[in-house]
Structure 1
């Protein structure tokens, strides 16, 4: 290596350390005040449930209040924009689902860039979806559901937690792969959708396990199959949709934390490490297990790469299924 070249590298390294120093200094004291976690859906849905499980433990471990703020609307866009515009001081974070990387493929007029305007912190957990029906619908299996849909095209309504959500795409994928017709009814979160399913106003939902689990246990809803490639511990008796007659059907959702753009890397790392410790706490693992959630807590760098892959994957699915917001 030439002497001049070595000096240039050393100078770049020094400049990089100086640029990182303010973030490192802030991280040493972080969090020194309450931290706000924006959940862009109403209370009661899976994002809200998982977000509160994690933030409750974070408050205990980090010795600061973790304030959950529900800002619902526009398939998560309203709450997400709050974080996209927030100061990168470690005081505001977003807890959202995989829809965060789906909705940009459906909405050309997004008020923010779902990738560039956020700092990936960590994914919290991966959660399978489960096909759940109102017991009044005369089906108990996926083949019976397909037969009923083909005999009654367009007469069954399926719900989602919002346009562009994984729940929405699961329904569209099911229609595409089975040659059936259903009416999509979007809600402002899975919680209200499940309540309407219980009431019989809609007939079907491909739901995250957490939000419908209590209603299933109470016998108010009937599960048919899970959407992952293999069976899940929460419903060991249920087949996968693929096993039940739709080969190749596979979809799941996941939940994660992002910060505002330009969040100091050291703060992102400190929060990720706290989340990684939280999901290993016995009471948190037990609670996640009851919700059918598998903890993840990847590093910010690995999560950022995961986000890039997921952004591309969801984009392909939206195009192939010809999913539209209207």
Structure 2
């Protein structure tokens, strides 16, 4: 009996250890280049930020990222490609904060942002800067709010366009501050900042690239930033929350996603490569030149952040009267 048992075990060991395996072992991830879809044009803020990170991340993973700009549909064309890709970690999406708002702004989406993507990590944030004319009499945010409340609706504020973070930040600000005002959308961040410079509008929530130089050159005055912490480029400028409106926050950000169903081990590998890249001082310095700040969040925290952002932006968009197009 004992001899038969040992003979059987030896036979099993031969089959398992030296015979042809019943199922080939999966190769380690990644074993080939990774397709990274950016749903916006080359040269924009999202594209420039991702290109700073992609090289070092690819080196850590041992395979390069192949960046593919697939524009159109307010970012939804590229997002659809990733939502419908195989969940094997070889097609990823780099997307800005529109990822948490497009379900409100775009009709007949062929996918669901909340259902069809697996969050990996937040990579960066871009605080917006509330700027006024350098000739504006109000020297700080509380004084500006007091002045604006007394204007009887004659305050006009600029944005980079309807539905942008600049628009939603400005709307949230006047809503919370109790200011009666008129929104003037422009075609881009630079035009919005210029409208304040020329006096056509009284304030603007501007991106760092369009405003920091004008602030440092004393052509515009920065009263506050829209993030919960101060900007490294403007350390003396308070946040809106600390200066006047506790709890205020609305920033641009960029995240990384895989198709839903991607194995957690793959998500962790990409997340860890992102974290190590963002921790490098030289990478942080390069992001700063783009007006971005390294803002890593691990995937569980990023998922919670994403849910909060989706709720906030959906509410603000509804209050602002935005409708799907």
State the TM-score, normalized to the length of structure 2: 0.73
Determine the structure 2 residue equivalent to 1:271: 270
Residues 37 and 66, structure 1, Cα contact 8 Å, conserved in 2: no
Per-residue CA distance 1:42-92 (angstroms, 9 max, x = gap): 6233x2332222113223433544333444444433332232233334333
- Deviation of 1:110 after TM superposition, in Å, equals 3.0
Unpaired runs of 5+ in structure 1? 1-20
**Does residue 6 of structure 2 align to residue 40 of structure 1?**
no
Determine the structure 1 residue equivalent to 2:51: 52
Residues 125 and 296, structure 1, Cα contact 8 Å, conserved in 2: yes
Residues 40 and 80, structure 1, Cα contact 8 Å, conserved in 2: no
CA distance in 1, matches of 2:123, 2:144: 33
CA distance in 1, matches of 2:216, 2:47: 20
**Does residue 91 of structure 2 align to residue 92 of structure 1?**
yes
Per-residue CA distance 1:239-294 (angstroms, 9 max, x = gap): 22244444543333332101223333332222111101111122113334563514
CA separation of 1:262 and 1:40: change in aligned 2, threshold 3 A? farther
Figure out how many residues of one structure are paired with residues of the other and give that number.
Answer: 296
CA distance in 1, matches of 2:126, 2:266: 26
Unpaired runs of 5+ in structure 2? 1-22
**Does residue 206 of structure 2 align to residue 197 of structure 1?**
no
Task: Give the RMSD, CA atoms, in angstroms.
Answer: 3.6
- Deviation of 1:124 after TM superposition, in Å, equals 1.1
- Deviation of 1:123 after TM superposition, in Å, equals 1.2
- Deviation of 1:211 after TM superposition, in Å, equals 5.8
CA separation of 1:226 and 1:93: change in aligned 2, threshold 3 A? same
Determine the structure 2 residue equivalent to 1:12: none
**Does residue 306 of structure 2 align to residue 307 of structure 1?**
yes
CA distance in 2, matches of 1:58, 1:215: 34
Residues 132 and 224, structure 1, Cα contact 8 Å, conserved in 2: yes
- Deviation of 1:223 after TM superposition, in Å, equals 2.5
Determine the structure 2 residue equivalent to 1:25: 26
Residues 126 and 255, structure 1, Cα contact 8 Å, conserved in 2: yes
Give the SS at the match of 1:171.
Answer: helix
CA distance in 2, matches of 1:60, 1:195: 38
